[in-house]
Structure 1
Amino acid sequence: MEMQKQKIGKWLLGALLILVVPNCLFWILEPKVSLSRGVFVAEYLLIACLYPLINRKLFITIWILFAVYDLVYATSSLFFMDFMEMVHALAKIPELALIDWLKWGGLLILFILIIFTLVKGLIRYEASYRIMHLRFLWPLIVLAGVVFFVSKKEIVSVPTWSVVKAVQHAVFVSTAKHNIDYLGSAAKTVFWQEPAAAATNKEALILVESWGLLTDQKLHSDVVQPLYELVQNHQYTIREGTASYKYLTQAGEFRELTGCVFHYYLVRDKWVKDSSLLIKKQEQGYHVIGVHGNTSKFYRRNVFWPVLGVQEMYFIEQLNTLQLPLCGSNEFRGICDTVINTWLLNNMNRQPDRKEFYYWVTLNTHLPLVEVHDEAYNNFARQWKEQGITENTLQMAYQQKGLFRDLAGKLSKPGSPKAHILLVGDHAPPFIDPADRKMYDANRVPYIELIPN
């Protein structure tokens, strides 16, 4: 009987170790880093089963490589629809400054060293009690699989499942249609029906980078307040609302243009074209113009914009010929959004009688932000800091308010075009710190419709 108790005790201790060691570092990181990950990750149990079958150095290498993947997936899966989109984003990140490479490289090395130390400790325990083999681990593997497949992913997650799904969707495209998210579109609600004959022949959809729905309603009202000055001057009627969102900018574009979030490699499917707002505007006689202050190659906009209905495109490659000023961080530097405000309204005035639909994806509030610390910002931020609003949130709110102030000021000037405009957020800012992320609604973004009187 005593022997049986000892065996049970060793099994329980071994099971506890095999569950805690791979996950404990992530538990420590979670209060400071926004992670999308279960309490436990199932793959570590499967990797542990390889220990008796392969060389020890190879085992440690596989464990560390998976831990790095686990980290990347946990910090990124909230923002990308599948693994291939993560890979594309990583491959297209603009060149970082040397100090940034050193900082992130140092943190990665520290992470690897901690993982190495943990797995070595697990191997040392294995030498005495043999916990890393299938005969010991199969009950935990079965339990983890059951928990995962009954959709308790907040308890057990399987990061490699996204790789399997990505390959499946890319190779067997017909199955991918079962993985479309129908979120609806504020833009299609506003613009899908052809306007009355007396209405303006200039329309614009402005997708505002990282404009999330603030949980503090008073701060949200402060941010959009400049647009309401157009109401006070009786120039525009304003309607506000919110829309569902998932993932980052490309998903936001697909959502607003088609009502759905789907994989990039589906963009040429007939149903996408049939659902596209921009194709619909062409059918209504509008000339569709797209503008974005960064390169046409990021997110492959030079490929999918024409497919979705953009007939005339302006990116930094074209706008640079006008010698327009640049703004933003080194990572996402491009034509200043306030300058594109001017360009947009001037372009509308060039052919006032032509029906035109503008699609503009803003840029300068893309993370990382170039922070502002002038007197105007300090005056804006002071009252909100006293109410517990974080610095990163206030920087984002202040700069978005500046964009709205600039647009409202230019729309109120004599001679400005009377355009029907919808401003809508693509997603909440993808801050790393959970304290910043909780300042925004996790599922909704705001929109504001400007209707000329």
Structure 2
Amino acid sequence: MIVLALHAPSWLSAWIFQAPRAEERPLFNLDLLLGAAIACVSSLGGAIVLVLAWAADGARSAAKNYHFMSTVDFVDAARFADMLNLPALFSRSLLGALAGALVCLWLVLRLTRRSRQLALPLLALAVLAAGCDIANGSFHLFGLDKDKRAVSLNFAGSPAWNVWASERQSLQAAGPGARITNPVTYRALQTWQAEHPGRTSLLVLVESMGLPRDPALRGWLQGRLMTSRLAARWEMQFSEEAFSGSTTFGELRTLCGLHVHYSRLDDELAAGCLPRQQAAQGMSSIGIHGFGLRMFDRSTWWPRVGLRPWNWLEGDAPKSMNCNPAFPGVCDVDVLAQAVKQAQEPRRFVYALTLDTHLPLDLKRLPPLPVDLLKACSASSTPLEACQLTRQLGDLLARLESLLAASAATPFLVVVGDHAPPFSERFNREAFATDRVPLFVLKPR
């Protein structure tokens, strides 16, 4: 009963709720077994270890889900919590999971109270589970860091150890950021700017614009931007780009061709970023975002890469606000309108980062799905939330298409996703490619 109560949260999330990456989580959590053994001797000590163990497991899983490169980076993001509408992030399923974990904690502490004789069997079970994991070839302690599994099941593991080990490896590898082997967006912009000095270019990085696996959904998404009226002025191409990491990694991938955490971006690395290259040619670069630039320290590193942050208080007052339930700010319709407006001027590089398609979705505020998209989703068995996100992405692209069609100038344009949408349910997550995002390149004719 103790073992069942310890592992109920992770087992239920894997088997009932189909949480993504569930196969990476251990069947037996060694941290929890150790905590239960300690609780047999000291309820307070056991409670502390159990809470820390569950927190480490939850933070590690959430970091992977949201494309953070490390658990510590995910935890560090908590310093921006005051900028968010936190109640929108606490869904019923999440609140239920937290309540369930508290019930499990209470049950374990009750079963282990004044039960010193149970400590040894719990430790023995931990040793046995670890032995099975070693035999399976999936044990990561003592330098055994490469899986050679006999079966796909991960018998035992320590999330707390994995967090510590990954952070130690990250610190040891800290240093200059890595140049991406094939930064498609960065190369496309850099090449065009070199061949057309002084011409304006526009980069739009779209939040959570993943690449639908279904060809019909990809075609529907393409059709929102790649229309006949734009084809008369732009030569349009649709392709894909590999991604790794969260939104800030997507920004540095597209702006600088780098795979590096923004905190490690020094002036030497920033010198190769597109805005800095444009500044060397006497051009100005503008960065536009609807959310506060304190988030992820953009107010610090955007100027370092050469971007002049757009100040909404000095320019045109936004007409729409708070279109995302968790991230209050200027809506994407105004961000895109301002980006296209700024791109009408010569000798500019304009960068726009969208916001509204950040998860979670507010399904109550969304209108019914278009008939053609609904048919495509039904034919491909695409879940409702994944289909609704595809619709929102399509609406954003259609809005951009309208703005471009009504504009006078014809800038070079790249529209690309930052990362795949971080759905917490596997069936929604699997509707999109795991390592690639859509890429639109519009070259003036």
Normalization by structure 1: what TM-score? 0.81
- Find out whether 1:71 has 2:72 as its counterpart: no
For 1:421-450, what per-residue CA distance to the aligned partner results, in whole angstroms no more than 9, with x for missing partners? 000100111111111001001111110101
In the alignment, structure 1 segments of 5+ residues that lack a partner are: 1-16
Secondary structure of residue in 1 paired with 2:191: coil
2:10 to 22, 26, 30: 26
Secondary structure of residue in 2 paired with 1:207: strand
1:405 to 360, 375, 398: 398
For 1:357-396, what per-residue CA distance to the aligned partner results, in whole angstroms no more than 9, with x for missing partners? 1111111111123445435x34344313422221111211
Residue of structure 2 equivalent to 1:11 = none
1:127 to 117, 126, 143: 117
1:55 to 36, 39, 42: 42
CA distance in 2 between counterparts of 1:365 and 1:384 reads: 20
Residues 162, 200 of structure 1: CA spacing in aligned structure 2 closer, same or farther, 3 A cutoff?
A: farther
State the Cα distance separating 1:100 from its structure 2 match: 6.6
State the Cα distance separating 1:323 from its structure 2 match: 4.2
User: What is the Cα-based RMSD across aligned positions, in Å?
Assistant: 3.4
Residue of structure 2 equivalent to 1:4 = none
Secondary structure of residue in 1 paired with 2:375: helix
CA distance in 2 between counterparts of 1:441 and 1:357 reads: 30
Residue of structure 2 equivalent to 1:313 = 309
State the Cα distance separating 1:221 from its structure 2 match: 1.0
Normalization by structure 2: what TM-score? 0.83
For 1:320-340, what per-residue CA distance to the aligned partner results, in whole angstroms no more than 9, with x for missing partners? x62432141242122222222
Quick check: 428-437 or 42-51, which moved more?
42-51
- Find out whether 1:442 has 2:434 as its counterpart: yes
User: One-letter code of the match for 1:91?
Assistant: R
For 1:60-85, what per-residue CA distance to the aligned partner results, in whole angstroms no more than 9, with x for missing partners? 33113311331232233232111232
CA distance in 2 between counterparts of 1:408 and 1:113 reads: 51
Residue of structure 2 equivalent to 1:245 = 243
User: One-letter code of the match for 2:330?
Assistant: I
State percent identity of aligned pairs: 19
For 1:76-126, what per-residue CA distance to the aligned partner results, in whole angstroms no more than 9, with x for missing partners? 323211123212333323444668769555541322212432465467886
Contact 2:19 2:426 in 1 (8 A): yes
Residue of structure 1 equivalent to 2:107 = 117
CA distance in 2 between counterparts of 1:205 and 1:277 reads: 11
State the Cα distance separating 1:222 from its structure 2 match: 0.6
Secondary structure of residue in 1 paired with 2:175: helix
CA distance in 2 between counterparts of 1:112 and 1:182 reads: 44
State the Cα distance separating 1:178 from its structure 2 match: 8.3
CA distance in 1 between counterparts of 2:50 and 2:204 reads: 45
Contact 2:202 2:343 in 1 (8 A): no
1:328 to 316, 323, 331: 323
- Find out whether 1:208 has 2:196 as its counterpart: no
Contact 1:187 1:422 in 2 (8 A): yes
- Find out whether 1:296 has 2:280 as its counterpart: no
- Find out whether 1:391 has 2:388 as its counterpart: no
Secondary structure of residue in 2 paired with 1:412: helix
CA distance in 2 between counterparts of 1:77 and 1:181 reads: 23
Residues 196, 113 of structure 1: CA spacing in aligned structure 2 closer, same or farther, 3 A cutoff?
A: closer
CA distance in 2 between counterparts of 1:96 and 1:362 reads: 18
CA distance in 1 between counterparts of 2:336 and 2:213 reads: 28
- Find out whether 1:424 has 2:416 as its counterpart: yes
State the Cα distance separating 1:295 from its structure 2 match: 0.6
Contact 2:112 2:118 in 1 (8 A): no
State the Cα distance separating 1:410 from its structure 2 match: 2.1
Secondary structure of residue in 1 paired with 2:440: strand
Q: Point out the structure with max Rg over C-alpha.
A: 1
CA distance in 1 between counterparts of 2:88 and 2:222 reads: 36
User: One-letter code of the match for 1:314?
Assistant: W
2:78 to 82, 90, 94: 90
State the Cα distance separating 1:189 from its structure 2 match: 1.7
User: One-letter code of the match for 1:393?
Assistant: A
CA distance in 1 between counterparts of 2:8 and 2:441 reads: 47
Secondary structure of residue in 1 paired with 2:303: helix
Secondary structure of residue in 1 paired with 2:203: strand
Secondary structure of residue in 1 paired with 2:238: strand
Residue of structure 2 equivalent to 1:340 = 335
Quick check: 361-370 or 122-131, which moved more?
122-131
2:356 to 344, 364, 382: 364
- Find out whether 1:108 has 2:86 as its counterpart: no
CA distance in 2 between counterparts of 1:331 and 1:136 reads: 42
